Structure 1
């Protein structure tokens, strides 16, 4: 029923996109559309001085479930190339691209040769999801399954059609089977390993060179310069983060394993929260006890999470609070965003753990 109800809306978007896209100029470099801000930043570095890619979703939208606006649908319909992480992160974009940009080329970054992939593993940390396993009931009667932990992170704040409050009258119609469970396969948060980003820069340049031979040398030159900058940045971050190893910290969501693995800075545990209901009193008590047992130095939130809830979990401990922004939801978009995401994470870890 949900999928059937969605089809008329996609058809309307497709019609609107066709009208708007027909007004765009056909000449010039390939029109590139990207998914999340870090990918837009990487593409922007490769296309610097040649073209400006379009980010298909706002920075504060959920990558797992986003309802496109007509202007975004038009940009997708007009695309010559879609550069995205993959359906593991944005399943809605997979369907939309097929419906609106069927002739566009795709570069799926998780499939790029040389990408270091980590498997989805709910027990990735020794104390992962402490305070109750996925599927456990809180004392408030709400059941939390593995879907719950994926919809309140990564710079969320669902973006919907505009009304006077910024809400979407169709709220929920695109969330049914977009309420995404990574399931088996690769953890999609692979952009948080800068070594993957370096590989992707080369792949982005290669695909653009195929589509636009006239600017091929410029794409490859831009990519090589960006790769060199990123290598230097990664070496600097490694030196800065090395003294922090072994200091226990807590994450609210298991989205950072690529960063943790790359810089040998594993978290002591994660708290899997639902966006549908706050944890009950019994769960909060268990979480507080676990934080004390671990002697956690810091508990990290994300831009969309409640500081009050963090304070409740930290009661009775000496844990400090920090904030991580893996999507760059609070950063200005553009070529510098990717490096700023890594810099911001390192600084937050230093400030809280150091």
Structure 2
């Protein structure tokens, strides 16, 4: 009878090689971060995502499965303090054995300052101050005050390129056996990001001068990279819905600026936006800065930025 089993020594060698090539256990906080990490890891492994589905990092609460993933992680990639507040304490207590990588500290990354109060048009018009006073008294600005800058930096593809390079270097240092794979995958992702920026520059050019209002100030990096004209925000903080005075002030702002569109977000109540545009010439649209409606994975980042561009062109055009 012919035996098909491999000799024990050969089998042991194969098992040892497979173990050596096994990627570290990696966790990523949000969909855009997970997408970039997944692109670099490729076939070596899949990073575990914490904020899944349509959940928002602004309002997320950890689940038992999330805690287990953080406890067993070798590397955790997150945006940083000032956005994913639900993770700050958990990383200190659960991820004691993991390398925690705060991508806001990526070498060379551009961090823009927070615009005043989040409602960045308010300080330019002192007559509106009292209209917002009641809302500001009830809003907790501490959530965003912990950050040194605006933490939505992933929406600039040039920042994403720097993040990819940093992610690849981190993975290679932790897992030298797969370093060449990480470097190759990162190089391919960088080429895709360069092409994506050129594509979106051409797509958005026709609507760049059209003013619009967004739900919260999440788009400063996208606006700066592609020369867009964001006129203001519906709410100062996405954790707190705007009051009646704020809505009335925004309705006046829409008419004053001739804003073409007011954009909701899928994580939050769109009825507020419909109320703001009612009786004005503006239309209501939806922008999704975190990929709430997209499927997680390496392709999400490009889909995310393209969906922002298509949403803007559809409404503003």
Cα deviation, 1:126-167, whole Å, max 9, x if unaligned, reads 6248855796116xxx944353xxxxxxxxxxxxxxxxxxxx
CA drift at 1:108: 1.2
Residue of structure 1 in register with 2:37 after alignment: 43
Gaps of 5+ in 2: 1-18
From 145, 157, 181, the equivalent of 1:218 is: 181
Q: 1:346 deviation in Å?
A: 0.1
CA contact (8 A) 1:298 1:353 kept: yes
Contact 1:77 1:101 in 2 (8 A): yes
Structure 1 residue 49 displacement after superposition: 1.0
- Where does residue 274 of structure 2 map in the other structure? 311
- Ranges of 4+ aligned residues in structure 1 off by more than 6 Å: 123-126
Please list the CA deviations of residues 249-302 of structure 1 after superposition, one character each: whole Å capped at 9, or x if unmatched: 11121111011111111301222266555522x443332122111111111110
SS at match of 2:255: helix
Residue segments in structure 1 that go unaligned for 5+ positions in a row: 1-24, 148-178
1:51-90 Cα shifts (integer Å, max 9, x gaps): 0100122233331343211111111111000111112211
Distance 1:90 1:350, change over 3 A: same
| TM-score normalised by L of structure 1 | 0.77
Closer, same or farther in 2 for the Cα pair 1:133/1:223, shift >3 Å?
A: farther
Alignment of 1:116-265 (within 5 A): 116-122=110-116, 127-128=121-122, 132=129, 136-137=133-134, 143-145=137-139, 147=141, 180-183=143-146, 185-265=148-228
1:343 and 1:133, CA in 2 relative to 1: closer, same or farther beyond 3 A?
farther
1:271 lines up with 2:254 in the alignment: no
Quote the residue 2:47 is aligned against.
Answer: 53
Q: Which has the larger radius of gyration?
A: 2
Compute the displacement of 1:185 (Å): 1.4
Alignment length, in residue pairs? 295
Q: CA–CA distance in 2 between the matches of 1:295 and 1:310?
A: 16
> What is the root-mean-square deviation in Å for CA atoms of aligned residues?
2.4
State the TM-score, normalizing by the size of structure 2.
0.86
Q: Is contact 1:136–1:145 with CA below 8 Å preserved after alignment?
A: no
Asked whether the 8 Å contact 1:35–1:85 carries over to 2, the reply is yes
Q: Which structure dedicates a bigger proportion of its chain to helix?
A: 2
Indicate whether 1:87 and 2:84 are aligned.
Answer: no
Higher mean C-alpha deviation, range 291-300 or range 58-67: 58-67
Q: Following the alignment from structure 2 to structure 1, what is the Cα–Cα distance between the partners of residues 216 and 242? A: 15
Counterpart CA distance in 2 for 1:298 and 1:197 is: 27
